[in-house]
Structure 1
Amino acid sequence: MTEFNWRNRFDPLLDTLVADGLGAWAETLQAQLIRRFDDQPHGDLPRWQAALDRLPALANVSAHLDRSALTLTSPRPLTAEEQNQLEQGLRGLMPWRKGPFDFFGTHIDTEWRSDWKWDRVAPYLSNLSGRRILDVGCGSGYHCWRMFGEGAGRVIGIDPGLLFLFQFLSVKDYLGDVPVDLLPIRMEDMPADLEAFDTTFSMGVLYHRRSPLDHLLELKGTLRRGGELVLETLVVEGPEGFSLMPEDRYGQMRNVWFLPSCDTLLRWLDRTGFRNARVVDVTATTTDEQRTTDWMRFNSLQDFLDPNDPTRTVEGYPGPLRATVIAEKP
């Protein structure tokens, strides 16, 4: 089994950041990666690396990034042994939460139909062609690949979950040197006022933050002037100024802090200095979009809703309603 060599994985991106005039960020990021992988390595790194090592080596792999399931294809059929290696490797990276994916005919039915969220957001986006994009809380990077498929010049996803990193690498290792990267860091680890991105996505993060206004200010700091924010978060029905703060858990999640009404969310964006903020979609999350599958066998949305009233959570709060807002930085 090979060891996880983070320098081989991230040095090309660090070099690119330096070349793009972001050397100070590259220096900070390198120190963060040293702490994450050298000073305090996660105990499951060998297991996840072993899962990656099981994936069969295939040449001339093509990626189809405009399909609901992000699809990898090979110019030749896989042998039975390769198919078995592929299945074992991918199952070694369970649970798969964000997707779906299709690896050479092996379909990964993820917990979330992340393609549904993308289909709701995509019609309202500016042309992504050539843009430098940040995806905050990107999970396994499914949406990063969809952004690249829309012509983005460079996509950087950030998510502290190391299993998500290895799921992302299971795709990238087949595609080689493409300008899509996933950094295992938090939003708080990003330099303040970086002003480096044309578009920043934050989808499914805001309600996990104790201070949602600080999160909005952090997001604004990542954007160049005139850059675009794409924000998706849980909301509740109510007037301007109304926001739900759960007593303890929401849908069995402990780290849910504020669920604003749409009008309150727009006020937050206005108060934090964004302009032209508009709600482009409001959709209730259903058990068709988030559910237990063979690739994610733990509890999912059906277990978090009131069995006698699926419009409410088990705690009695309104069921999950998600709004997408787009705004610009002046």
Structure 2
Amino acid sequence: MSKLAQTWFNDCYKSLLDSPLSAWLQTLPSQLNTWQQHNKHGEFDKWCRLLAKLPQTAPSTVELSTSVTVGTAADINEYTQKQISGLLKQFMPWRKGPFYLHDIHIDTEWRSDWKWDRVVPHIAPLKNRQVLDVGCGSGYHMWRMLGEDASGVYGIDPTQLFLIQFQAIKHFIGQRNIHFLPLGIEDMQPLKAFDTVFSMGVLYHRKDPMQFLTQLKDQLRKGGELVLETLVVDGDETTVLMAGERYAQMRNVWFLPSAKALMVWLERLGFENIRVVDINHTTLDEQRATEWMETQSLKDFLNPEDITRTIEGYPAPQRAVIVANKK
């Protein structure tokens, strides 16, 4: 068992004790103990050893409301800056960001800040809310949720490299009421207690989208808000594309509904006040290879002669943001 991981989880348990989410303590500790004993990635212990080598710094500033920016180059010397950069590159690929740590720019594959800018004007203010981010990736949006004064931010994602990346950023920002748990939504008991549940970039990876949407609903209190961002296609209330073996080179893509069809799904499942607040085509500037994510990216997944289509011939990625409330 990693002592470092146990420390992370113990901090989470403490935050839950006197919160509206305290019922989570009935199942969470045993789940995480099981995870540590049986499900750890082969590289996990090595990643933890690298994390422990990150130097302690004293950032002069921490900015989370307009970006995720920690400190400046003036806070540390050049050697320390190179040391930090070298260690963080051991955790590549960095997909969701960007992050700025003492003027080290972690230039991630995705400009997740652009997505956040499209989402945040349309949601209920997060101040004093308990928030869950399902499929949180490296946690970029979690930090922005904290920057909106959420009282507690919890992210779940089974990808262990994302857990390590999150903890690397948290190392510099310091202890806050923000926690990453290596779980899937199917592991969650129905807490029915979160004020806001985010699911951004997950729905199309699920074989059973109705079950997934129901699982999201089961985490919300009555009146709580779902913020759903996903791939969509053009069409009416009956339009759903089921991709073949691959969509934009991804094997694990299942159902791509139209935004109108997705609204019907949500209404059938017991949501109200359903509204599409943004539809946006993903551009080659928003998703691309960088020195922090060096493998193929969006331009490699589109038809080079017609970038409005994927290389398989499907419509190029178009993403919608839908906001709804639990009845």
Name the TM tier (shorter chain). over 0.9
Distance in 1, Cα, partners of 2:142 & 2:75 = 27
Residue number in structure 2 paired with 1:172: 170
> Which residue does 2:187 correspond to in 1?
189
Matched, 1:134 2:132: yes
Partner of 2:63: 64
Q: Does 1:242 align with 2:239?
A: yes
Q: Secondary structure at the match of 1:56?
A: coil
Deviation per CA, 1:151-172, whole angstroms, max 9, x where unpaired?
1010001111111111111121
Contact kept? 1:234, 1:323, Cα under 8 Å: yes
Please state whether the residue corresponding to 1:293 is helix, strand or coil. Answer: coil
Q: Counterpart of 2:8? A: 9
Tell me the distance in 2 between the aligned counterparts of 1:53 and 1:6.
11
2:22 & 2:148 partners in 1: Cα distance? 28
> Unaligned regions of 5+ residues in structure 2, if any?
none
Residue 145 of structure 2 is matched in structure 1 by: 147
Q: Distance in 2 between matches of 1:77 and 1:145?
A: 21
**3-state DSSP class of the match of 1:318?**
coil
Aligned-pair CA distance for 1:107 = 0.3
Query: Does structure 2 retain, via aligned residues, the 8 Å contact 1:243–1:259?
Result: yes
Distance change >3 Å, CA 76–CA 292, structure 1 → 2 = closer
Partners of 1:179 and 1:294 in 2: how far apart? Answer: 31
TM-score, normalisation: structure 1? 0.95
Do the aligned partners of 1:129 and 1:153 also contact (CA within 8 Å) in 2? yes
- Name 1:54's counterpart in structure 2: 53
Q: Name 2:43's counterpart in structure 1.
A: 44
Question: Structure 2 CA distance, aligned partners of 1:50 and 1:82?
Answer: 18
Whether the 8 Å CA contact 1:138–1:159 is kept in 2: the answer is: yes
- Quote the residue 1:257 is aligned against: 254
Report if the CA contact (8 A) 1:61-1:75 is conserved. Answer: no
Question: What letter matches 2:133 in structure 1?
Answer: D
Query: Unaligned regions of 5+ residues in structure 1, if any?
Result: none
CA–CA distance in structure 2, aligned partners of residues 203 and 197 of structure 1? 16
Question: What's 1:109 paired with?
Answer: 107
| 1:307 lines up with 2:304 in the alignment | yes
Deviation (angstroms), 1:30: 1.3
| Residue type of the alignment partner of 2:303 | D
1:155 aligns to what SS in structure 2?
Answer: strand
Partner AA of 1:295 in structure 2: W
**Match for residue 200 of structure 1?**
197
User: How far apart, in 2, do the equivalents of 1:77 and 1:149 lie?
Assistant: 22
TM norm structure 2: 0.96
Deviates more, 1:11-20 or 1:215-224: 11-20
Whether the aligned pair in 1 keeps the contact of 2:131 and 2:154 (CA below 8 Å) is yes
Task: Render the CA deviation track for 1:152-210: whole Å, top value 9, x for unaligned.
Answer: 01000111111111111112122332101111100101113x11100000000111111
SS at match of 1:263: helix
Percent of residue pairs bearing the same amino acid type:
51
Note if contact 1:136-1:187 (Cα within 8 Å) is conserved in structure 2: yes
Alignment counterpart, residue 219 of structure 2, candidates 222, 238, 248 = 222
Q: Please give the alpha-carbon distance, in whole angstroms, between the structure 2 residues aligned to 1:37 and 1:165.
A: 13
Q: CA deviation at 1:253?
A: 0.6
- Name the amino acid aligned to 1:9: W
Query: Does the CA-based 8 Å contact 1:159-1:186 persist in structure 2?
Result: yes
8 Å CA contact 1:53, 1:89 repeated in 2 = no
Q: Which has the higher contact order (CA 8 A, sep 6+)?
A: 2
String of CA shifts for 1:110-161, please: whole Å, max 9, x gaps.
Answer: 0000000000001101111100000001101000000100110100011111
1:320 aligned residue: 317
1:3 positional shift: 5.1
- Cα RMSD between the aligned structures? 1.6
Matched, 1:291 2:261: no
In 1, distance between residues paired with 2:221 and 2:39? 34
Q: Is the 8 A contact 2:156 2:180 kept in 1?
A: yes
Q: Cα gap change, 1:48/1:61 in structure 2, threshold over 3 Å: closer, same or farther? A: farther
The 1:43–1:9 alpha-carbon spacing in structure 2 relative to 1, beyond 3 Å, is same
Q: Deviations over 1:296-322 (max 9, x none)?
A: 011111111111111001110000000
- 8 Å CA contact 1:201–1:230 kept in 2: the answer is yes
Aligned residues, how many? 327
C-alpha distance in 2 between matches for 1:249 and 1:74:
43
In structure 1, distance between residues paired with 2:131 and 2:56 = 30
Please give the alpha-carbon distance, in whole angstroms, between the structure 2 residues aligned to 1:317 and 1:205. Answer: 19
Distance in structure 2 (CA, Å) of the matches to 1:176 and 1:269: 38
Mapped pair 1:89 → 2:87: yes
